């Protein structure tokens, strides 16, 4: 995962409610909140512990791996309960916080901010594309860049430019291998969110209501007339119902301001899960004649899809375990972008939701002046985190018990997904609480150093892990979870030590320095002046 490193200016108590925006530019090491670097550092370890399975095994062909120690099952349970989905969520929240900080630092230079952030997102997309082709197919940077561009359009595009961009996205969807209906749904969600965040009273409620009804009608029409399989019809009907519910709730709001980002984030986060649960429930809730019958062509397409995924998994295992580096690069160049493109719709919703929650943490002041918001941080740490862990453990158990009923399992799966976000916010809160204690923060400075170089360390993890596991390197293919965990802890300790040493003489990590150069179109000073 990517850290979303944008740096957060160190919190200072304002003398009044009026404060000038700081000049736009790279944030020096002395102007950062240590809690966020600490959170990034721990998240780097967490995400490595999760990603290591994909370095060591194709997720499309899990039979390609093996367990070799009795402790593997216990280690797997710990990692799945306390790590999987939690640190990806944390990195996404941190990314949104970085976006909000850059935007606040350019309050008086909106046009300049748009140009800078556009360069930043396009550079991230380029890093992600090179990462996919040259190193590893499990990249997240490319999806993050797309989500950042969508968020930029939501917050700054005018109606005509937004409509032109939406039209271009819909026209380009099918040639890129995306479902055109998914592109339409994403554009409608983005447009409605833009109205929700930017429209002013007294017209806001009327505009929001009309846009919600229009979006629901378009998705309903897609469900009825533009799908060839009942499952697809149920899916878009589910999104139409979610649209109606979200817009109806928004009409009853009495409080505006920064909290809108939190509400929009929650709506985005729940949209895909609620739509899926509704889609699986609709066959039981409605007469069968309401939906288009499944065609022979649709059934053949589903069967071909399953065969394709299985073949791709076998090919990935072969490429990772046996092929030379040149052959691996050729394989990733030909098929490495299928996964990020196929998951673009759902990933944009999920990552976008967490970006918005991160923006709320900055705009509400909770990140800038944590001492003023200790009640929030303590609540997230000591109440939210345990409740999230209970939801993850209990939700998984309940979903397993209800596995015989797909609709029940889908509704119950919302619990562990929501619990993962609560745990991610809890981890972030623990970082803020630890950072308040100087002695503890000092002892963990090596972790924060790794967090300050999050992008560099993320790419370094991919480079080292692929060399260690893949056939063109040392070829330690098929290690069990216990050995994987030991490898991750060792690698992270070495990265943290290297980061602390590097930052003793440099302001940024190598990739952070390059990213800032592209973002601000001027070369940052790398060396720490004596």
Q: Give the pLDDT confidence of 13-51 residue by residue, as tens digits.
A: 333 333 333 444 444 444 456 789 999 999 999 999 999
Say which residues have a Cβ less than 8 Å from residue 148's Cβ, sequence separation at least 6: 95, 99, 117, 120, 121, 124, 355
| For helices 414-435 and 344-363, angle between their N-to-C axes, nearest 10 degrees | 40
At 284-309, the pLDDT tens digits run: 888 877 776 666 666 666 677 677 76
Q: What pLDDT was estimated at residue 300?
A: 65
Instruction: For residue 65, name the pLDDT band (cuts at 50, 70, 90).
Output: low
Instruction: For residue 57, name the pLDDT band (cuts at 50, 70, 90).
Output: low
Q: Judge whether 193 and 261 are in contact, CB under 8 Å.
A: no
CA distance 432 to 429: 5
For the cut 90, the answer to whether the pLDDT of residue 394 exceeds it is yes
Q: What pLDDT was estimated at residue 142?
A: 94
**Rounded to 5 degrees, what are φ and ψ at 529?**
-70, 140
More confident residue, 356 or 73: 356
More confident residue, 469 or 498: 498
Q: Stretch 490-505: mean pLDDT, rounded?
A: 96
Say which residues have a Cβ less than 8 Å from residue 18's Cβ, sequence separation at least 6: none
Nearest to 320 by CA among 330, 328, 311, 312: 328
Angle (CA) 228 229 231, round 5°: 145
Q: What pLDDT was estimated at residue 336?
A: 79
Count the alpha carbons within 13 Å of 492 in the hemisphere toward its beta carbon: 22
Any alpha helices (H) in 174-229, and if so which ranges?
A: 180-198, 204-225
Q: Which of 239-248, 254-263, 385-394 has the lowest mean pLDDT?
A: 254-263
Burial class (CB in 10 A: 0-12, 13-18, 19+), 197: middle
At 113-135, the pLDDT tens digits run: 999 999 999 999 999 999 999 99
DSSP 453-478: THHHHHHHHHHHHHHHHSTTTT--TT
Percent of all residues in the chain with a pLDDT value above 70, rounded to a whole number: 86
Q: What pLDDT was estimated at residue 228?
A: 67
Classify the C-alpha dihedral 222-223-226-231 as positive or negative: positive
Residue 91, classed as helix, strand or coil, is helix
Say which residues have a Cβ less than 8 Å from residue 282's Cβ, sequence separation at least 6: 234, 237, 238, 291
For the cut 60, the answer to whether the pLDDT of residue 530 exceeds it is no
Please state the pTM of the whole predicted model: 0.88
Q: What pLDDT was estimated at residue 22?
A: 41
Q: Stretch 1-7: mean pLDDT, rounded?
A: 40
Nearest to 352 by CA among 234, 248, 272: 272
Q: What pLDDT was estimated at residue 67?
A: 57
Count the alpha carbons within 13 Å of 389 in the hemisphere toward its beta carbon: 14
Mean of per-residue pLDDT scores for the chain: 85
177: preceding bond cis by omega (within 30 degrees): no
Q: Judge whether 137 and 332 are in contact, CB under 8 Å.
A: yes
Cβ neighbour number for residue 31 with a 10 Å cutoff:
12
Q: Stretch 395-399: mean pLDDT, rounded?
A: 89
More confident residue, 446 or 9: 446
CA distance 97 to 354: 10
At 321-363, the pLDDT tens digits run: 677 888 888 888 888 788 888 888 999 999 999 999 999 999 9
Residue 103, classed as helix, strand or coil, is helix
Nearest to 41 by CA among 444, 368, 409: 444
Percent of all residues in the chain with a pLDDT value above 90, rounded to a whole number: 53
For the cut 50, the answer to whether the pLDDT of residue 377 exceeds it is yes
End-to-end CA distance of the chain: 34
Angle (CA) 315 318 321, round 5°: 145
Q: What pLDDT was estimated at residue 343?
A: 86
Q: What pLDDT was estimated at residue 167?
A: 94
């Amino acid at each position: 995962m990517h850290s979303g490193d944008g740096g957060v200016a160190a919190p200072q108590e304002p003398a009044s409610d009026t404060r000038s925006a700081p000049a736009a530019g790279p944030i020096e090491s002395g102007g950062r909140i240590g809690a966020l670097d600490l959170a990034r550092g721990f998240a780097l370890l967490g995400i490595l512990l999760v990603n290591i399975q994909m370095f060591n095994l194709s997720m499309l062909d899990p039979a390609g791996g093996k367990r070799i120690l009795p402790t593997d099952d216990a280690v797997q349970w710990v990692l799945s309960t306390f790590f999987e989905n939690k640190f990806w969520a944390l990195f996404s929240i941190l990314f949104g916080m970085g976006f909000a900080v850059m935007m606040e630092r350019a309050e008086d230079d909106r046009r300049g901010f748009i140009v800078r952030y556009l360069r930043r997102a396009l550079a991230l997309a380029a890093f992600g594309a090179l990462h996919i082709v040259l190193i590893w197919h499990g990249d997240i940077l490319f999806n993050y860049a797309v989500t950042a561009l969508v968020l930029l359009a939501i917050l700054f595009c005018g109606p005509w430019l937004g409509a032109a961009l939406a039209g271009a996205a819909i026209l380009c969807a099918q040639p890129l291998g995306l479902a055109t209906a998914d592109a339409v749904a994403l554009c409608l969600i983005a447009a409605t969110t833009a109205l929700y965040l930017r429209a002013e009273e007294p017209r806001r409620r009327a505009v929001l209501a009309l846009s919600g009804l229009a979006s629901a009608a378009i998705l309903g029409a897609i469900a009825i007339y533009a799908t060839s399989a009942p499952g697809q019809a149920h899916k878009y009907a589910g999104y139409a119902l979610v649209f109606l519910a979200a817009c109806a709730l928004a009409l009853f709001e009495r409080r505006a301001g920064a909290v809108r980002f939190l509400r929009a984030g929650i709506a985005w986060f729940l949209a895909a899960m609620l739509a899926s649960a509704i889609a699986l429930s609709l066959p039981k809730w409605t007469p069968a004649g309401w939906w288009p019958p499944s065609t022979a062509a649709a059934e053949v397409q589903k069967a071909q899809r399953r065969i394709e995924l299985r073949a791709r998994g076998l090919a990935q295992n072969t490429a990772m375990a046996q092929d030379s580096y040149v052959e691996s690069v050729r394989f990733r160049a030909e098929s490495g972008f299928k996964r990020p493109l196929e998951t673009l719709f759902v990933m944009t919703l999920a990552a976008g939701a967490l970006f918005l929650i991160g923006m709320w943490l900055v705009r509400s002041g909770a990140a800038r002046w944590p001492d003023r918001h200790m009640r929030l941080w303590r609540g997230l740490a000591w109440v939210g985190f345990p409740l999230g862990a209970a939801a993850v453990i209990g939700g998984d158990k309940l979903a397993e018990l209800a596995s015989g009923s797909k609709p029940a399992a889908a509704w119950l799966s919302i619990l562990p997904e929501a619990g993962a976000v609560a745990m991610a916010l809890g981890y972030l809160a623990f970082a803020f609480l630890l950072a308040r204690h100087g002695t503890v923060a000092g002892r963990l400075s090596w972790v924060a150093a790794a967090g300050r170089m999050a992008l560099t360390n993320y790419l370094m993890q991919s480079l080292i892990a692929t060399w260690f596991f893949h056939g063109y390197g040392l070829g330690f293919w098929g290690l069990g979870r216990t050995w994987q965990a030991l490898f991750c802890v060792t690698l992270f300790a070495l990265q943290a030590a290297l980061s602390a040493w590097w930052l003793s003489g440099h302001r940024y990590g190598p990739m952070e320095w390059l990213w800032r150069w592209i973002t601000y179109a001027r070369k940052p000073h790398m060396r720490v002046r004596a």
